[in-house]
Structure 1
Amino acid sequence: KLLVFLVFEHLNMAHLAFRRDISDPDILFAFSQKVGSPEKLRMLYVLTAADITAVGPGVFTDWKSELLGDLYERTMLLLGGKHSRYNREQRLSRVKQQVRSYLDLPQLLEVEEEQEESWFTELFNSFSPHYLLVTPPERIAADIEILRNLPSDQIVVEGEFEPDTGTVNYHVIAPAMYSQSCFHRMVSVFTSRRMEIISA
């Protein structure tokens, strides 16, 4: 039973760590209830990390290691009878610094230093916490560069296969004028092709 549990649930652990908002108490509590004990969580964590690493060199990135470790530590706190003390704002602040390090704002914006920081902070704060917490900082930085140079009548769509979860991660960047209808049209296309939407 333990072996079957580990084989099936290590895929779920990867999915939760990389695709879901684990600061959501309901998601975290449900996962901790399914795991049941610190011993099983340790084995599950090791198997998940080993499986992702075995996919190939460079697949288990620092970002994925951090997300998986975050889920492990949060769950361990719950299994130990303690509430998670993780502060979302602290983590978002760390993500902001990492994203900022990937951007050459003076060249990107061609404005004064105080203006560039104000622009970056305003844009960063406009993103949803879920997007900021599950997206690699370098990907967020790339999205910001696309947004800055995106013509008002164009939409950018990019797809990236994730071998460790067997999913395709689509990035759709569109001007505000398309924001209301874009998502619903995408859902219709995926549904018509019998594709399952895991998270959005």
Structure 2
Amino acid sequence: MPAVSVSAFRRWPSSVDMLRMHGLDFLTGEKTMLLQRRVCGIVAGLVALAALGLADVQAQHAMERITGDGGRYSIEMPKGYTSTTSPRPDGGTVHQLTYLWKDSIGQYNVIAFAVIDPPPGTTKHFDLWEAQRQVAARYPGAFPTRYQEIQSGPAKGISFAMAVNSNRGQGVHEIAVKIYGLDGRLYEMLAATRVEDRDDPTVAAFMNSLRVNR
């Protein structure tokens, strides 16, 4: 079947915003008016979350399993995550879960999960490889560190990570991404941390928790 253009996928701005808060301003070519409007809303949400007080990075945060679409998928997120759902210009929807906290030196760690649905009734599928290329293209200074093909139930996917030098003197950061596709739906998982925190137990629990059932 033909692949859906990933232009709508690129409009999901959560990783854009969160990495800006993380001190990683390496994005190019994505400053459309639509993106700017969505970015403003997510930035406000993350700032509000930060103002509530952020947990310490040393221990795994309390997790809860969230089930979506009557059991179509489930994932573990730290308690206190934020949830938003927004329409896509093509008639589809984006549902995202986000959690932000500070590490041991006061820098932000971010994890985010997005479910990106095409318009109702479509028979087209997202192109995972093009989606991966678009994510990598956001960070032209990034160095790929690992890559593998993955699967969760019937959903096939790709897992990759990139190392990025912070432009604020905060050292090397790692951006870890998993992308799955099934029946026109795209699942994206993202974790952005300093390299020293890439094995943080909260990050590990999140990145290994997605279960796609049908």
Higher relative contact order structure (alpha carbons within 8 Å, sequence separation ≥ 6): 2
Task: Establish whether TM, by shorter chain, passes 0.5.
Answer: no
TM-score of the superposition, structure 2-length normalised?
0.29
Answer 1 or 2: which has greater strand percent.
Answer: 2
TM-score of the superposition, structure 1-length normalised?
0.30
